[in-house]
Amino acid sequence: MDYQAICKATREIAYEAGNYIFGRIKSISMNEVEVKGMHNFVTEVDKSAEAMIIDRLQLLVKDAGFIAEEGTLQTRGERYNWIIDPLDGTTNFIHGAPPVAVSIALTEDNIPVVGVIYEIWLKESFYAWKGSASYLNDSEIRVSEIAEVKDALIATGFPYYNIDRYDGFMNTINHFFLHTHGVRRMGSAATDLAYVACGRYDGFYEYNLSPWDVAAGALIITQAGGKVTDFGGGGNYLFGREIVAANDRIHQAFVNDVARFMKP
Overall domain count for the chain: 2
Residue 128 sits in the same domain as residue 25: yes
Least confident of 74-78, 139-143, 258-262: 74-78
Residue 82 sits in the same domain as residue 166: no
Residue 136, helix vs strand vs coil: strand
pTM: 0.93
CB under 8 Å to 154, separation ≥6 — which residues? 176, 180, 181, 182, 183, 184, 201, 202, 203, 204, 205, 254
Which of these three, 141, 176, 204, is where a domain ends?
141
Residue 137 sits in the same domain as residue 33: yes
Residue 133 sits in the same domain as residue 238: no
Residue 109 sits in the same domain as residue 155: no
Which of these three, 141, 175, 202, is where a domain ends?
141
pLDDT 10s digits, 89-130: 988 998 899 999 999 999 999 999 999 999 999 999 999 999
Residue 104 sits in the same domain as residue 218: no
Residue 160's pLDDT is 72
Distance (Å, whole) CA 145 – CA 92: 30
Distance (Å, whole) CA 4 – CA 15: 17
Residue type, 5: A
CATH number at residue 50: 3.30.540.10
DSSP letters for 147-167: -SGGG-EEEE---SS-GGGHH
Residue 31's pLDDT is 57
CATH number at residue 160: 3.40.190.80
Distance (Å, whole) CA 118 – CA 216: 10
**pLDDT grade for 45, boundaries at 50, 70 and 90:** confident
Distance (Å, whole) CA 13 – CA 28: 22
pLDDT 10s digits, 64-90: 999 987 665 678 889 999 999 999 998
235: how many CB neighbours lie within 10 A of its CB? Answer: 11
Residue 127 sits in the same domain as residue 160: no
Distance (Å, whole) CA 4 – CA 16: 19
Residue 110 sits in the same domain as residue 39: yes
pLDDT 10s digits, 13-32: 999 999 999 998 876 665 55
Distance (Å, whole) CA 187 – CA 120: 14
Q: Are 101 and 117 in contact (CB under 8 A)?
A: yes
Residues of the domain holding 101 = 3-141
Closest CA to 189 of 152, 217, 231, 224: 217
Q: For residue 233, count CB atoms less than 10 angstroms from its CB and return exposed for 0-12, middle for 13-18, buried for 19 or more.
A: middle
Residue 199 sits in the same domain as residue 86: no
Which of these three, 110, 141, 172, is where a domain ends?
141
* pLDDT at position 199 over 70: yes
